[in-house]
Amino acid sequence: METFKIEIPTPYAVGDVNAFLVKGDALTLFDAGPKTEEAYDALKWGIRSAGYDMKDVEQVVLTHHHPDHVGWVDAFSHAEILGHAYVDHWMKKTPEFLHYHNTFYAKQLKEGGVPEKYIQRILKVKGEIELFGSLPLTGYLKEGDEIPGHKGLMVYETPGHGQSHLVFLEEGTRQCIGGDLLLERTSSNPLVEPPADLSMERPKSLLQYNASLQKLKALNVSKLYTGHGGEITEIGKLVDERLERQKQRAIKVYDYLVKPQTNFELTTQLFERIYQQQLGLTLSETLGQLDYLVENEMVEAKMQGGVIYYSRI
């Protein structure tokens, strides 16, 4: 795979995001940075230093729908734009979807025992989606598909970090464009998100994520091109490290569960100093560990007056 890496600045704590320009029978850009001016410049100059022009890009393929990856699809209205069908909800942003999205989060937060004043604050932050692009996808990708114009570059569904997450593996060389599934230096957060089929059932993101990591490990990848930071070659070792660290976090949550508590109550203790500033993220983290403990039959969840209480079994 002839891959040209483009590092793009983002306004997020994670730092730069990577896009990859790949020349096959088609010229394809994998991911497109956030929709800021700085990102546009970086993308333009990156493509230029690879010897091409923005208008030469025939296809944009998205690893997942998060804003640091999908912003500048808007600069490629002449190209095909491909990704998981779920991405389209975020590009189109129909009033129905935005309403569904807010209703979903309000329900989850209420069940998590989050006080009303915090719920409003979180929903407001979630509403800031201007860094997303707005061009709808021209085609959908799913497990087993081949990327058009790139023979043997296959699509694998890897939900968890995002419900739309895909990775692309080149069969012969075992090189893989991996989005945010596994990063060199940071562990990627499995975020609470509305389900892909828009039922009200919350996907258990952390459990999905762990399964996706195992799937990646089994793919025998020689080189992983990541969404943030450098390429990874020792994938199995890093996957094992990440899974072990997650287990330790779950045990910490279990240790705090001396009496039945809500997700919110636990989060305020586990993240005493940062939960006020990063409530959405910290609630998501604790909920993931609780899902893991429930799945492993160490903890049970009981609904009481519309709120879920967790207790040790």
31 or 265: CB nearest Zn ion: 31
Q: Which residues of 78-110 are buried (b: 16+ CB within 10 A; e: fewer)?
A: ebbbbbbebbbbbbeeeeeebeebeebbbebbe
Using CB under 5 A as the binding rule, the residues of this chain from 64 to 83 that contact Zn ion are: 68
89 or 111: CB nearest Zn ion: 89
Closest residue by Cα to residue 223 from 9, 20, 36, 49: 20
111 or 180: CB nearest Zn ion: 180
Which one of 45-53, 86-94, 111-119, 221-229 is the stretch in contact with Zn ion (CB under 5 A)? Answer: 221-229
Kindly state the smallest distance separating residue 10's Cβ from Zn ion, in Å: 8
Torsion angle of the four alpha carbons 246, 243, 201, 163, in this order, in degrees rounded to the nearest 10: 120
Kindly state the smallest distance separating residue 73's Cβ from Zn ion, in Å: 15
Which one of 147-155, 227-235, 249-257, 269-277 is the stretch in contact with Zn ion (CB under 5 A)? Answer: 227-235
**What 3-state class would DSSP assign to 37?**
helix
Kindly state the smallest distance separating residue 43's Cβ from Zn ion, in Å: 15
265 binds Zn ion (CB under 5 A): no
- Count residues contacting Zn ion (CB under 5 A)? 3
Kindly state the smallest distance separating residue 69's Cβ from Zn ion, in Å: 6
At 59, list the tokens. 């296809």
Kindly state the smallest distance separating residue 6's Cβ from Zn ion, in Å: 14
Using CB under 5 A as the binding rule, the residues of this chain from 168 to 187 that contact Zn ion are: 180
Q: Considering only the C-alpha atoms of the chain, give the largest distance between any 2 of them, rounded to a whole number of Å.
A: 62
Closest residue by Cα to residue 288 from 245, 259, 258: 245
Distance CA 41, CA 36 (A): 9
Is the Cβ–Cβ distance between 161 and 189 less than 8 Å? Answer: yes
Which residues have CB under 8 Å from 230's CB, separation 6+? 184
Which residues have CB under 8 Å from 34's CB, separation 6+? 8, 10, 11, 12, 17, 67, 68, 69, 71, 72, 131
Kindly state the smallest distance separating residue 33's Cβ from Zn ion, in Å: 10
Kindly state the smallest distance separating residue 268's Cβ from Zn ion, in Å: 27
Closest residue by Cα to residue 111 from 202, 189, 195: 202
The binding track of 181-220 with respect to Zn ion, each residue x by CB under 5 A or -, is ----------------------------------------
160 or 227: CB nearest Zn ion: 227
Kindly state the smallest distance separating residue 17's Cβ from Zn ion, in Å: 6
33 or 227: CB nearest Zn ion: 227
Using CB under 5 A as the binding rule, the residues of this chain from 136 to 155 that contact Zn ion are: none
**What 3-state class would DSSP assign to 177?**
strand
Which one of 96-104, 200-208, 226-234, 293-301 is the stretch in contact with Zn ion (CB under 5 A)? Answer: 226-234
Among positions 83, 190, 227, 288, the unique one binding Zn ion when judged by CB under 5 A = 227
Positions in the binding site for Zn ion (CB under 5 A): 68, 180, 227
